[in-house]
Structure 1
C-alpha cells in the first residue's frame, strides 16, 4: 500500500464530497498502515492550514465491537474546520452521506502525554459538554472494513458542541435523547460509552501514548456514540439532550 497515494485518494474524496471505492478492495493492508494513511491524510489538511484540536474515539460500545469483530477501540483526529456552531445551520453540501450521533465531549486542562489511570483522569479535565458528531464515510454505500474506516479518519466529518459544564458526577448513566424536528429518533444512555464516558479519557491517553504523540491542554476528546447514528437530510432541526449535562442543536440545509 502506497501511504501517500492512499492519503491523497481519501483527502480528495472528502474535499470533493465524492464517494470512492474502499481501499482494501484492490489492496488489503494492515491496521498499522491504516493509521499511517490516516495521519498522512491529516498532514495534508494541516499543510492547507487546518489545525488539529483533539481526538475522537470509535467502537466505544460493546455491541459495535462485536458487530465489527474487534476487541479494541479505534480513534481519529479532529480539526478546527470540523467545528460547527451550536444552534447554527450545517451545510450538507460538504458531505457525501452524513449521519449524526449523540456524544459527550471533554476538554482537557493539562497535557496528556502518557497513559492515565481512572483516578488521574478527573485531574486532567476542564469541562464536559453535550455534543453531536457528524460522521460521513468517504466510501461508497457507507461500507468498509476495519482498516478502511481507520484510514478514513474513522468517518469523522463534523462536530457540534453544547455549553460546557464542570458536572462530571452524573455522566455514568445519564439519559440521552436525540430528536429530529421534535421527534425522538434515538434514545439511550451515556452508559453505552464504555460503561462510563469518563473512561474515554483513560482510553484516549493510552491510544495517543501508543502512537507516541501527546494531547496538549485545551484538546477536545469526543468520547464515542451513545446511540446508533441517524441519517441527515436537509431541513431538519436536530437536538441532543443529555440528562444533567444540557443540550446541543443545529439545523441542516443544502444549497446545491
Structure 2
C-alpha cells in the first residue's frame, strides 16, 4: 500500500497510522519535499474521485517561531475541499477526526487566476477577506511528523469554517484576534503574526503553488495561516474566533453522532 493510500485510509477510518521511517519518502531534503508533494497530489485526488471539489489552498508554518520549533526554513502548502467545510454556527460531529486541533485564521477569497507570483501582485488578486477557523488533524500517531510527512499528509488539513465576507482593505492588515473556547479567551493575538503581514500569504502561496504546478483559481479560498497557537478540539467545546473589523465565526464540537448538523 502506498503512503497516499495509507493516509487516505487513516482519513476515512479516523484511525491514526505510524509515522513513516526516516527517508521513506525519498533521498535528499529537496527530493523528499518534491516527493511529498507528489504524495499530497495523490491523497487529494482520492478525495476528488469520491466527489469532493477543490475549494482552495492553505499555508502552514507561517509563524517564524513554529518554523524554528519544527527546524524548517520554508512554508508549506496544502489544499482544502468542500468536504472539509464546516458551516458557521454548525454543530460538528467529531467522529470523522482522530485528534483534531483548532486555530484562528484569516481567509482570503481569490478574485483572479494566480499561476505565477506576478499574478499575486495584480489588481483583484484578493476579492474579499473573512475570519476563519481551521481544523488540523494529523493522520500520524501522536500528532508527530517530519516536514516531508506533514506535506504528504496535505499539511494536516481536516476542516475549516469561514465567517461573512468583508471588503478587502490591503492597508488594514494588523487586526486583533480573539480565539475563544467555551466563551473564554484561549489566546489573543494579531494577524500580524501571520508572516509579519498576512497580505504576504497570497505571494507565498503563489510561489509554492508555482513550484508544484498548482494554479490558484478565482473563487478559491486561501487560509493565510494561524494567528495564535492551536488548541485541542474536544467534545462539547464551542469554538469562536473574532477578528477586529471582520466579525466572527464559530461552531460547536459534538460527540460522535450527537446532534451534528
The TM-score normalised by the length of structure 2 is: 0.92
Q: Which residue of 2 aligns with 1:110?
A: 112
For residues 147 and 213 of structure 1, what CA distance do their matches in structure 2 show? 18
For residues 8 and 119 of structure 1, what CA distance do their matches in structure 2 show? 37
Say whether residues 1:11 and 2:8 are aligned partners.
yes
With 194-203 and 163-172 compared, the bigger mean Cα shift is at 163-172
Classify the secondary structure of the residue corresponding to 1:23.
coil
Say whether residues 1:72 and 2:69 are aligned partners.
no
Q: Which residue of 2 aligns with 1:83?
A: 85
Classify the secondary structure of the residue corresponding to 1:63.
helix
Say whether residues 1:144 and 2:145 are aligned partners.
yes
CA 1:167 to 1:198, structure 2 compared with 1: closer, same or farther past 3 Å?
Answer: same
Query: Is this contact kept in 1: 2:192–2:198, CA < 8 A?
Result: yes
Q: Which runs of 5+ in 1 are unaligned?
A: none
Q: Which runs of 5+ in 2 are unaligned?
A: 27-31
Q: For 1:189-236, what per-residue CA distance to the aligned partner results, in whole angstroms no more than 9, with x for missing partners?
A: 100101111110011111111112211110110001111000011111
Q: For 1:124-159, what per-residue CA distance to the aligned partner results, in whole angstroms no more than 9, with x for missing partners?
A: 111000000000000101111111111100001000
For residues 171 and 67 of structure 1, what CA distance do their matches in structure 2 show? 29
Report the alpha carbon displacement of residue 171 of structure 1 after superposing the two structures with TM. Answer: 4.2
For residues 42 and 218 of structure 1, what CA distance do their matches in structure 2 show? 19
For residues 109 and 254 of structure 1, what CA distance do their matches in structure 2 show? 37
With 161-170 and 127-136 compared, the bigger mean Cα shift is at 161-170
For residues 171 and 54 of structure 1, what CA distance do their matches in structure 2 show? 23
For residues 111 and 185 of structure 1, what CA distance do their matches in structure 2 show? 37
Query: Is this contact kept in 2: 1:172–1:195, CA < 8 A?
Result: no
Say whether residues 1:20 and 2:17 are aligned partners.
yes
Query: Is this contact kept in 1: 2:114–2:120, CA < 8 A?
Result: no
The TM-score normalised by the length of structure 1 is: 0.94
Query: Is this contact kept in 1: 2:58–2:80, CA < 8 A?
Result: yes
For residues 132 and 56 of structure 2, what CA distance do their matches in structure 1 show? 14
Say whether residues 1:62 and 2:64 are aligned partners.
yes
Say whether residues 1:238 and 2:239 are aligned partners.
yes
Report the alpha carbon displacement of residue 27 of structure 1 after superposing the two structures with TM. Answer: 2.4
Report the alpha carbon displacement of residue 119 of structure 1 after superposing the two structures with TM. Answer: 4.5
Q: For 1:84-134, what per-residue CA distance to the aligned partner results, in whole angstroms no more than 9, with x for missing partners?
A: 0000111111000000010000011111111137753x5211100000000
Query: Is this contact kept in 1: 2:4–2:40, CA < 8 A?
Result: yes
